[in-house]
Every structure is written in structure tokens, then in C-alpha cells.
Structure 1
Amino acid sequence: MDVVTIGETMVLFTPDTTGLMRYAKQFSMKFGGAESNVAIGLSRLGHKVGWISKVGDDEFGRAMLSFISGEKVDVSQVKTDGSAPTGIYFKEPRRENDVRVYYYRKGSAASTLSKQDINEEYIAKATYLHITGITPALSESCEEAIFEAVEVAKRNGVKVVFDPNLRRKLWSEEKARAILLKLISKADIVLPGVSEGQFLFGESDPSKLGELFLNQGASTVVLKLGAQGAMYMTNNEQAMVPGITVERVVDPVGAGDGFAAGFISGLLDGLEPAKAVDRGNITGAFVTMVNGDVEGLPEREEIERFSSQSGEDVNR
């Protein structure tokens, strides 16, 4: 197993028309969740990935498992909960570059995840454990599950990749700050955005933020800077990797997950850090060109073709 990830995936409903959702008459159904987005992104790039979660014993849960397993992601550690539903959310494309998201996830099956759902033997087989700051915000038992998974990873030499993925509406700012900082201190690699750095440290300067994150205990920080690209930082080096120009952004939701998938893929392939970040930038850019969280995630052939056309070699 290359990567194991943990978190909630929900059913996504999107109106077939743009504008205020109150006027929508028809919706399309898809699936989305930060962690499964990353899992699918890695699978499409040729890696072996496992996803740990819970779904409801309902049609949405069955459809979700069918979809994600169909993307060649291992779902053997996903449990079905007969007492709680599969979460749902709505994406409202009001106009180009203005997409709003509404979640209906309270009391969902995934929010009942607990440390008893963490299989040490399963995680120990992975090279990387990927987690986000969303899962511990869902419930106390989810928080315990994430910290248990991190401890299991550390005991077994599995590197922890942490994307803070701040969701302010899920918890108080005080608790969010405390838990995110604690997870950063336990992670090997952290993938924050500038807005998350500002929330945690009251700082927006990329170089200063990198130092602040590293001081928490992480060995590697990749600071996502949107269209500008990303900055890679360790205690010994720092490099700015320019972003990929996208002429028309159709749907920005999921771009950060695409970046994580591309970056981790680069690490798994043994690329030098700047090249791994570049693959992350390319993968994230592909996501923004298509409506949906995972529909735009590229396959390896697309990445290679893009790189050859742009004069880059992402496999070097």
C-alpha cells in the first residue's frame, strides 16, 4: 500500500443550472470528500491507496462505495453504520468563479468513526498516512481516531502528511487552533494554505509562515499559494515553484486535494521536491478546469502529455 487516508466522503448535489440554488429544479449527484479526493487522485496516477471511513446503510452509502472502489481505491476498511446516514452537501455555482458549498453532515455515519476503527496492521503497510483537519472537527470520537492513526503511523515508520484544511464552521476557533497545531507537531509533511497560516499564527508572509510551521515540529512544509504556485520549505532549503496558468477556472473546489495527490505521487515516484511540488501544481490545475471534486483529476498519461507539451519533465 502506498497511501492510506481517513475521512468523510459525502454525496454531492449540484444544480444543473447556474445562479441561486433556490431556483434550481434539477440536480446531478456526485461524491466528494477531501480524503477520498486525494485517494482517487493518487489511484489515477497509478498508486495503491486505501481509504478508511464509515457510510450509512443506505442507497447513498452503497453508491459511494461502488463509485470509490470503481476508482481502484481499497475500501476494505470502510464500515457501514445502520444507525446513521451518509452525509450530503450541495454545491451552488452562482456564477463563474463564485461557487458556494452547503453541508448537511451533522450526525452522519462518518462522524461516528472512533479509534476502534483504526486497524494498525492496515496502516503499517503504507508508505504515507494522509489526514486532514476536517476529520477531527466532526466529533470527539473522530478526533480520537485521527490521533490514534497518527500514533500507529509513527510506531510503524509510516510518514504522516497533514493538510490542515480548516473548516471554521465545524468547531470553535480556539479548539481548531489547538488541535491543528498539535497535528502539525506530529506530522512529517504539512500542506497548508496562506489563509490557514494566518489563522494559526496571525502571519501572511510565506517565508515567515514556513519557519513558523517548521518550528512546530514538521520536517517539510509546502505552502500553497493558489495561482502563484507553492513554496517548498525544510530546515535546510526553500524553493518557490510557479503555478500553472489556467485560462478558465470552472470549479475551484477540490484543487487543494488535487495538489496533495500530485505532490504525494511525486514523492512516491522519487522525484526531487521541486518536481513533486510541480506535479502537485499541475494536478490541482487540472481539477479546476472541470465541474466536480474528482472529475477533473488527471491520469498519469495526461500529466506526462501536459509536461511534454510545456517542456517540463515531471518524471525526472
Structure 2
Amino acid sequence: MTTYTDVVTLGETMALMKAATPGPLAHAGSLGLGMGGAETNVAIALKRLGTSVTWLGRVGQDSLGDLVLREIAAEGVTTLGIRDPHAPTGLMIKERRTLEHLKVWYYRSGSAGSRLAPEDVPADTLRKAKLLHLTGITPALSESACDAALFAVSVAREAGVTVSFDLNYRAALWTEDQAGPVFRTFIKQADIVFAGDDEAGIAVGPGPDSLELARKIAAMGPQQVVIKNGPLGCVGVIDGAEYRQDAVRINAVDTVGAGDAFVAGYISDLLAGASVEDRLRTAVRTGAFACLVPGDWEGMPRRNELGLLDTSEPVAR
């Protein structure tokens, strides 16, 4: 029996290795093992906020694949994991050289995740969803993965399903010149677009400020465009109106996954019928929460925790 959810997302989730303390990786005595990926970061954050979500992806027929699928399913995300006997699960290794500087090494060439193809996409599940969320990472993985993402978009649009696209540029996967035309293709077919300033510039050229970049993207078709500016908050051009939202002040521990948490906060409130102002307020709070805990997705908040950032009392009794 097929289970239908409000949101469907697809992309590569990898095993993750990292040292417990900062310093050169060459001198690390041991590495912790976990998993992470932009699309599953969003999926886990959505589920914790109370939005039902399905993730689709390929992993190897290996122990790292077991780990990935187990962790995602344990978070309550409906998991459509395809086991690939001919390719390994991708791997990323984090090196925190100092408390402020992080480097991520990817070992994903020829991975199972890069072999995602249009025939893997569950069209019936997608047609019953309310929203499809994609990132610019998936089309960068391979031609077949790009085709899978485009096929998912075509199915969603034909069924009247809202399409959300986060540019999420990865320089390790492709150049800006390669990414730009692909970004524009997806932007023109999306209803909602998320980007940072630099990512938006790859798609539409540089602008004098974030709002102008949002305007340029909105002119390509999307009704909702949000530019994420980290500690500066965000701006948006949504249904023709312009918005600004300040960030929540925090002492960040690890910013990886913050953009994914931001996206999940916005989408969850959108599907709940919240106002634009409330969507943006929730988005900056979920993004802030992700920065308070080491890891890609571990710090994603539950909805009843969002108010914690508004209190000065550190102990709840």
C-alpha cells in the first residue's frame, strides 16, 4: 500500500564522517559516523515541524546504505530508498580546522545517489503530494539525476503540485557557468525559489542588493522568491510584495544545514496556511536552531521548541 505525504523530495544522502574536535583531520584519532544530505535535512526538519514528507534516493547495497536508510526512517520520514548493487553509498568527510572554519570533502563520483534516474521517480506518490522540493545539488550529480529532477518537476506541474527549488550551489560538483543555465531552467518551472546572494547571482547575474536579486528571479516566473542571508535574515518577493525579516541572534556552533532548516520552516508554515510574515519568522528560527548543534540535521527543532529562542531563561522547569 502506497503512503502519500504532503511533501516529496529526492536527492542524494551520503554517509558522513567527522572528528569530534577541531584540528587537522590528519591527526584525528577517530571519526564519528553519521549521515547527511540537503534534501533529507529538509525532510527531517519538516517532519519535526509536523509536516508529512517522503524522501526518495539511491544508496548502495552496503552498510553505509543501511545506516542512511535507518536514520532517515527513524525520524519518521517516509523513505523510498532504492538499493543499488552496482555502486556504493556516497561519503562526505568534515574537517573542522578551527572553530570557525569547516571543510567538507566529498567522495561521491559514481555513487549510487548519482545514478538516480527518471524511472526511479514514483509519479503516483508525487501526484498526490501538495509540494515537491528539489535542490540544485541533484541536477549537478549526473545527467540521469538531472533528468530525474526534471521529470519530477514535469509530473508535479501537470498535477498542480507546488514546486519548490533551492539553488544550493556546490562548487565541488560543477562550475558557475555550468550551473547557471540549469538553475534558470528549474527557476522558470518553480513556484517557490530559495537562494543565497551568491547563488542568485549565478542564475540571474549580480545585483546591487538581495531584493533586486529576488526581483530578477521573480521576473522569471516564481510567485515566491526568498533570499537567505544567514545572520542578516532574509528578504523576499512574494506574490508581488517585498518583505524583510531579521535573523534571530545566536552564538552559532555549526552552520551546516541552516539553509535547509530555513527552507523547511517556510514550507511547513506555507502548507499550514500561515501568513508570509509568519512563514519568514518561522524560517529564520528553524535556521537558527540548526546552527546551535553540531551536525547537519541533528539540531532541527520541533514546533513546540520554536519559542525557546525568545526566552532568556536557560532552564525549563
Same fold by TM-score greater than 0.5: yes
Provide the residue aligned with 2:63 in structure 1: 59
Map 1:123-142 → 2, pairs under 5 A: 123-142=126-145
Superposition misfits of 4+ residues, deviation over 2 angstroms: 172-175, 304-307
Consecutive unaligned residues of structure 1, counting only runs of 5 or more, are 311-316
C-alpha distance in 2 between matches for 1:228 and 1:10: 30
Instruction: Determine whether 1:294 maps to 2:297.
Output: yes
Task: Give the total of aligned pairs.
Answer: 307
Do the aligned partners of 1:5 and 1:130 also contact (CA within 8 Å) in 2? Answer: yes
Deviation at 1:172, TM superposition (A): 3.3
Per-residue CA deviations over 1:135-166 (Å, capped at 9, x if unaligned) read: 00000000000000000000111100100001
- Given that 1:244 and 1:281 are in contact with CA atoms closer than 8 Å, whether structure 2 keeps it comes out as yes
Q: 2:15–2:67: 8 Å Cα contact kept in structure 1? A: no
**How far is the alpha carbon of 1:173 from its aligned partner?**
2.6
1:147 aligned residue (146, 150, 153)? 150
Q: What is the distance in 2 between the residues matched to 1:20 and 1:57?
A: 32
- Mapped partners of 2:234, 2:125: distance in 1: 32
- Hey, what does 2:246 align to over in structure 1? 242
Task: Give the deviation of 1:306 after TM superposition.
Answer: 3.9
| Map of 1:313 onto structure 2 | none
Alignment of 1:43-122 (within 5 A): 43-75=47-79, 77-122=80-125
1:235 Cα offset (Å) = 4.9
Matched, 1:227 2:217: no
3-state SS in 2 of match to 1:232: strand
CA deviation map 1:62-117 (0-9, x unaligned): 11111100000001x22100000000001111112211111111011010000011
Question: In structure 2, what residue type is equivalent to 1:138?
Answer: L
Instruction: Give the Å deviation of 1:203.
Output: 2.1
The answer as to whether partners of 1:198 and 1:204 remain within 8 angstroms in 2 is no
Secondary structure of the equivalent of 2:78? Answer: coil
CA distance in 2, matches of 1:206, 1:80: 41
SS in 2 for 1:85: coil
SS of 1:29 mapped into structure 2: strand
Q: Which runs of 5+ in 2 are unaligned?
A: 313-317
Aligned equivalents of 1:41, 1:271: Cα separation in 2: 17
Q: Report SS of the residue matched to 1:185.
A: helix
Q: State the match for 1:157 in structure 2.
A: 160
**For the Cα contact (< 8 Å) 2:193–2:224, is it kept in 1?**
yes
Greater shift in the superposed pair: 224-233 or 81-90: 224-233
Instruction: Name the amino acid aligned to 2:287.
Output: G
Q: 1:204 to 1:53 in 2, by over 3 A?
A: farther
- Structure 2 residue 200 is the aligned partner of structure 1 residue 194: no
Please say if 1:177 is aligned against 2:168. no
Counterpart check, 1:21 vs 2:25? yes
Instruction: Name the % identity.
Output: 41
Query: Structure 1 residue 198: deviation in Å?
Result: 2.3
Quote how far apart the aligned CAs of 1:174 are.
Answer: 2.3
The alpha-carbon deviation at position 204 of structure 1 amounts to 4.6
TM-score by length of 1: 0.95
2:277 corresponds in structure 1 to 274
Residues 1:253 and 2:256 aligned together: yes
**1:300–1:234: structure 2 CA closer, same or farther, 3 Å change rule?**
closer
Query: Is the 1:195–1:204 contact (alpha carbons within 8 Å) kept by the matching residues of 2?
Result: no
- Retained in 1: the 8 A contact 2:134–2:166? yes
Contact 1:267 1:276 in 2 (8 A): yes
Residue from 216, 224, 242 that aligns with 1:212: 216
> CA offset at residue 175 of structure 1?
2.2
Q: Following TM superposition, by how much is the alpha carbon of 1:305 offset from its aligned partner in structure 2, in angstroms?
A: 4.3
2:46 aligned with 1:42: yes
- After the TM superposition, which of the residue ranges 36-45 and 201-210 deviates more from structure 2? 201-210
What is the RMSD computed on CA atoms of the aligned residues?
1.2
Whether contact under 8 Å (1:254, 1:287) holds in the other structure is: yes
Residues 235 and 300 from structure 1, CA distance in 2 versus in 1: closer, same or farther, beyond 3 angstroms? Answer: closer
Q: Is the 8 A contact 1:232 1:273 kept in 2?
A: no
